[in-house]
Amino acid sequence: MKPNKTLYSILDLALVSEGHTLQQTYNNVLHLAQNAENCGFTRYWLAEHHNASNIGSSATSVLIGYVAQGTKTLRVGSGGIMLPNHSPLIIAEQFGTLGSLYPGRIDLGLGRAPGTDRETAQAIRSDFMQAAHSFPNELEKIETYFSVENATSKVRATVAEGVAVPVYILGSSTDSAHLAAKKGLPYAFASHFATTHLWDAIEIYRKEFKPSSVLKKPYVMAGVNIIIADTDEEAKRISTSLIRMIVGIFTGKRDFVQPPVDMTDELKGIMQHPQVHQMLKYSFIGSKKTVKIQVKEFIEKTKADELIAVTNIYDVNDKIKSYKLFAEIMKELN
């Protein structure tokens, strides 16, 4: 008996490449999303980050609207909105509006991390730490604002009431797994960079899951880094942009995404550094044949309902090709 199909989607940070303007970056985001739609991807998520010159997805809800406007069937959403940065009322209004403009196509993925450094988090919201600890309560406020029953309350998000915008819980540790299970909501784990707690988080979520009005059984999404090219060598060369970006994160010297270079012994050494190796554990880099074997094994081990692919490389055409080949792999495995 053939198992259920594994859906496949994209997580994007609107990365700004060296020599590119923000306008070019956003044009490339839309171009990539349109190609993803044609390749059968389920959803295209954008992640909220702040105070990073190489990330263009700061005004996440605005960019979601831009991508939704330029596509027809693709689900578009946040992966995620960092809820402690915001008033739940404002987020409900923003996503309620998006849900009415693009019915049945908007997702609201919510996380509790700041998506930035401590100083910027403080500048965004002075009571950030308190809001982060109150994440379950803030989530309940979002659900309340979207409910039809809230129409009798004194405080309302009138543009959100009754609008169908599904909520997803994002996590990079085990904390959110407990919450997603308790609420009976789909759970997306950031295993494309936070690899340590993947198995524990999935086990907790599935074991503690309580069916809800929106979900009858657990639904697991797992993030993976995907870089596919015609050959293993070319894929490794393209991946040097990602390696150098990771080095920038660890050294505090974040920069625009750099053009790829030939794979050197130094870069190979960086890949084997314990911290980098752990961070990129679920990175599948190579030809279509090579990556297909790795993806198949990952799906069999995690039994994920959906893979959400991240391709942090320099050139948009290389991204489009990589995602196209990934879509072919997923269709063949399904």
Provide the CATH number for the domain around residue 291.
Answer: 3.20.20.30
Q: Which pLDDT does position 123 carry in this prediction?
A: 86
Cα distance between residue 75 and residue 105, in whole Å:
4
Count CB neighbours of 334 within 10 A.
Answer: 14
| Residue range of the domain that includes 71 | 7-231+283-333
Phi, psi dihedrals of residue 149, rounded to the nearest 5°: -65, -25
- Give domain status of residue 278, yes or no: no
Q: Give how many domains the chain has, as a whole number.
A: 1
Is 172 a member of any domain? yes
CA distance linking residue 140 with residue 179, whole number of Å: 11
- Report DSSP state, residue 47: -
Is 240 domain-assigned? Answer: no
Rounded CA gap, 96 and 163, in Å?
Answer: 6
| pLDDT on residue 250 | 82
Task: Look up residue 331 and give its amino acid.
Answer: K
> What pLDDT is attached to residue 119?
85
First to last CA, the chain: 12
114 within domain boundaries = yes
Residue 239 forms part of a structural domain = no
Is 127 inside any structural domain? yes
Q: Quick one: pLDDT at residue 2? A: 43
Query: What is the per-residue pLDDT for 226?
Result: 98
Distances (CA, A) of 56 to 207, 256, 284: 37, 11, 25
Question: Would residue 87 count as lying in a domain?
Answer: yes
> Which residue in 195, 188, 185 sits closest to 170, CA to CA?
188
Buried b (16+ CB within 10 A) or exposed e, 10-39: bbbbbbbbeebeeeebbebbbebbbbbbeb
The answer to whether residue 196 is domain-embedded is yes
Query: What residues contact residue 154 under an 8 Å CB cut-off, 6+ apart?
Result: none
Chunked into runs of 10 residues, the chain (334 residues) has average pLDDT values of 79 97 98 98 96 94 98 97 94 98 98 80 78 90 97 97 98 94 98 95 98 97 98 97 90 88 90 89 97 98 98 97 98 96
Structure tokens at 74: 């693709």
CA atoms within 13 A on the CB side of 161: 10
- Whether residue 299 contacts residue 292, with contact meaning beta carbons closer than 8 Å, is answered with no
DSSP 3: P
For residue 230, give both structure tokens: 């015609």
Query: Rounded distance, CA 270 to CA 262, Å?
Result: 14
pTM for the model stands at 0.95
Cβ-based neighbours of 287, under 8 Å, separated by 6 or more: 228, 229, 230, 231, 232, 235
Q: Residue 313 to residues 12, 23, 318: CA-CA distances in angstroms?
A: 11, 18, 8
Residue 82, C-beta contacts closer than 8 angstroms, at least 6 positions apart: 48, 110, 111, 112, 113, 114, 115
Report H helices in the chain: 22-38, 60-69, 88-101, 118-124, 128-133, 135-146, 175-183, 198-208, 232-238, 240-251, 265-272, 274-279, 288-302, 316-333
Q: What is the pLDDT of residue 3?
A: 55
